[in-house]
Amino acid sequence: MPLPQPPSFRLDGRRALVTGAGRGIGLAAAAALADAGAAVTLVARSAHEVDAAAQAICAAGGRASSLALDVTDLDALAEALARDEPFDIFVNNAGTNRPRSFVEVTVDDFDMIFGLNVRAAFFAAQAVARRLIEAGRPGSIINISSQMGHVGGRNRSVYCASKAAVEGMTRAMALDLGPSGIRVNTICPTFIETEMTRPYLSAPGFRDEVLGKIALGRLGSVEDLTGAILFLASDASSLMTGSALMVDGGWTAA
């Protein structure tokens, strides 16, 4: 009896682009994609960080290059992608937050968070998709969202709004890009310990509050996300688009 063949998680021969790749989730994504066989381009504002990260991936046997670029500079980003070959995989990861009470949020806070988390993410994905469509190639766009795109959080009104916007645009992108064979999904992590989150997670009261909402009783690590990233990047998720993959330890199950 012939048995169904499971899909491969390998990414040999594919090109991947990762933004915010100098550290944290972006660096972990880039390393995982390279380990699975993809040629990865790491993007971040800090040249020394992405250069060092790309060199470390190459030293480990992977293929990687760096691109020092501020993704909020939409013209520079579009020009860089137009000069390059299309990317089969895009991990749209660059993001930020400024936790503040709703009544203390400033216009600058709002513009900075939405400028990176929504505006830059939208047009970066658009630039990647345009190149794929021009080349007649399928692809996978993975927008790094958050559990906060599905629930509320104290002192996170703008961040929650930005990630809810990412969820909405992902579903609409999936409909527009599906006929071209381009899949678009989100990954929605819980609190992940990174250089960006460590300062406020070090506060005992806040850390305890967070852990009390995670069914598995622990914070996430960047390694917890790499399996989901490989799944969405590979043929293992070939019938999945417009979906949100929750990697939240059970936070949103309540």
pLDDT digits (tens, 9 = 90+) for 44-93: 999 999 999 999 999 999 999 999 999 999 999 999 999 999 999 999 99
Residue 111 has pLDDT above 90, yes or no: yes
Identify whether 200 is a catalytic site residue. no
Which of the residues 14, 77, 157, 159 is marked catalytic? 159
In this prediction, residue 181 carries a pLDDT of 98
By C-alpha distance, which of 178, 17, 170 is closest to 90? 17
The mean pLDDT value of the chain amounts to 97
Task: Give the model's confidence band at 109: pLDDT under 50 very low, under 70 low, under 90 confident, else very high.
Answer: very high
In this prediction, residue 204 carries a pLDDT of 81
Compute the distance between CA of residue 198 and CA of residue 207 in angstroms, rounded to an integer: 10
In this prediction, residue 133 carries a pLDDT of 98
In this prediction, residue 77 carries a pLDDT of 95
Question: Rounded to whole angstroms, what are the CA distances from 131 to 23, 79, 162, 179?
Answer: 26, 11, 26, 15
- Answer for the pair 14, 241: CB distance below 8 angstroms, yes or no: no
The predicted-structure confidence for 178-221, as pLDDT tens digits, reads as follows: 999 999 999 999 999 998 888 889 888 999 999 999 999 999 99
Compute the distance between CA of residue 102 and CA of residue 153 in angstroms, rounded to an integer: 11
Question: Would you state the structure tokens that stand for residue 183, as one six-digit string?
Answer: 């899949």
| Section 25-53 average pLDDT | 97
Beta-carbon contacts of residue 68 (< 8 Å; ≥ 6 apart):
43, 44, 45, 46, 47, 50, 51
| Section 209-236 average pLDDT | 97
CATH superfamily ID and name for 15-249: NAD(P)-binding Rossmann-like Domain (3.40.50.720)
Residue 225: φ, ψ to 5°: -95, -15
| Amino acid making up residue 157 | S
What proportion of the chain, given as a percentage, has pLDDT over 70? 100
